[in-house]
Structure 1
């Protein structure tokens, strides 16, 4: 998957690069992007082996699914060794956490020779998101770290994140790159996960970050078009003759044809 069609990604599954079983299982999962994590999901004593396993897994590939490797943050004691391990490796993308400047993205891209998905996880990152988006191939909002950085009480919901969530989408759209919503932490509440996916989709996010395979079906279903959506898009394209005109009780124009084609492209993905 090239940077130009990353917007077709509905689901990004983060899994520990130190977990061989999870990596092997991911090869058969219907997820759109596999993210091998070297950062939060890996203990300090496992960092070295995780680097090796991530490089090997990315080189082997995940069938028709693209892969990414999430490094440790710039400035961490692990970043340099991470770069050496992934440079020119088989991963399609690098996920860079806690990005707070465009320069960080540029430098990481130069060091790894890979396109960078930038994670926005701090207040400083949110404020710099428009500049960061101009250097990255996509933005991922890291809601867990952002909640902590903003001092929002645990369990308070996403109300305090509304401005940040919308700012990241605005930055991505202005730069012409995709935006992906943060993770949902609970594993036993499919209904609430679905509600959060619908909320993210309503803000304009292209897909959602996931932490467990059980969340894939929900994200794919909500961030992907339904059969009804596709059928309506096909009818609109067939009916459109150019310019403003009436269609099924509403006015449409060329922009709606473009949107309908995008719906069909997502369905084919």
Structure 2
């Protein structure tokens, strides 16, 4: 399946060192999983985490969920060995942290071969080079690392995310220009469903494909926020029907709910229906 045709509403981080968490992830309603060898794994556990993760991925059972392995950076003592290990794992892509230039992706690709690459976008230099990074031929997706980015910017977390808008927008432009998947950053208050929903809707309105999550409790809110609503699906069907009827009758303009429907609206409507169908097929609902 074309990765862009899959749903990426919820992308859940799972520590690669925790067998219980890795097993539980098989039954969670996440569209994708980031199996994390980096921040979620203590230094003393990093070497063993590779073997733990490889064994769990070999065992399978993750269904249609996209399996991303986040390695440590090449500026650490674990990065190269992580990349070599990931190249042999039963995963869909490898995720490199703190990407700031295409050269880093070149170096990773030399090790991982045909395995698709994703980039963590989490530094000011990464934001400024987002276009060049997105153009890399092996890159399939981007994940915003908003916690690290806020630290680098010395920015404050605000509900409207105004301090982040430039960075988020630069990466969105780069991703869309090159046909990539792009995932919004995490929401840290995992018990705050109301705040999570606000941030999900903000990301969805901006154009992100989905949101990265730190806790399974965030899955339901996020999946609903990034899925087409019943109203969205109904409108899409009516727009397509009206447009097709107008074309068949040889008339010039289709109108739905007092608004003109053009080719671009029909294309968006078809994408909405395709996304709803993909979600239903993936999760059996």
Name the TM-score class by shorter chain.
Answer: over 0.9
Moved more, 143-152 or 158-167: 158-167
1:214-262 Cα shifts (integer Å, max 9, x gaps): 0011111001101111111112112213564322210111111110111
Cα 1:250–1:144, aligned 2, differ >3 Å: closer, same or farther? Answer: same
The corresponding residue for 1:236 is: 239
Residues 1:179 and 2:188 are matched in the alignment? no
Partner of 1:104: 104
Aligned length: 267
Q: Once the 2 structures are TM-superposed, how far is the Cα of residue 102 of structure 1 from its aligned partner?
A: 1.3
Q: CA RMSD in A?
A: 1.5
- SS of the counterpart of 2:40? coil
Structure 2 partner of 1:222: 225
Match in the other structure for 1:53: 52
Which range moved further: 80-89 or 33-42? 80-89
Contact 2:242–2:255 (CA<8 Å) still a contact in 1? no
Q: Tell me which stretches of 4 or more aligned residues in structure 1 moved more than 6 Å.
A: none
Determine the structure 2 residue equivalent to 1:251: 260
Question: SS of 1:13's equivalent?
Answer: strand
More displaced stretch, 108-117 vs 34-43? 108-117
Q: Determine the structure 1 residue equivalent to 2:127.
A: 126
Q: Is the Cα contact below 8 Å between 1:54 and 1:69 reproduced in 2?
A: no
Alignment of 1:30-69 (within 5 A): 30-61=29-60, 62-69=62-69
Over 3 Å counting, the alpha-carbon distance change for 1:248 and 1:156 in structure 2 is closer
- Give the secondary-structure state (helix, strand or coil) at the position aligned to 2:27: coil
- Name structure 1 gaps, 5 residues minimum: none
Can you give the 5+ residue segments of structure 2 that lack an aligned partner in the other structure?
Answer: 280-285
Deviates more, 1:130-139 or 1:42-51: 130-139
TM-score (norm 2): 0.90
Q: Distance in 2 between matches of 1:244 and 1:161?
A: 40
The 5-angstrom pairing of residues 173-212 of structure 1 reads 173-212=176-215
3-state SS of 2:228 partner: coil
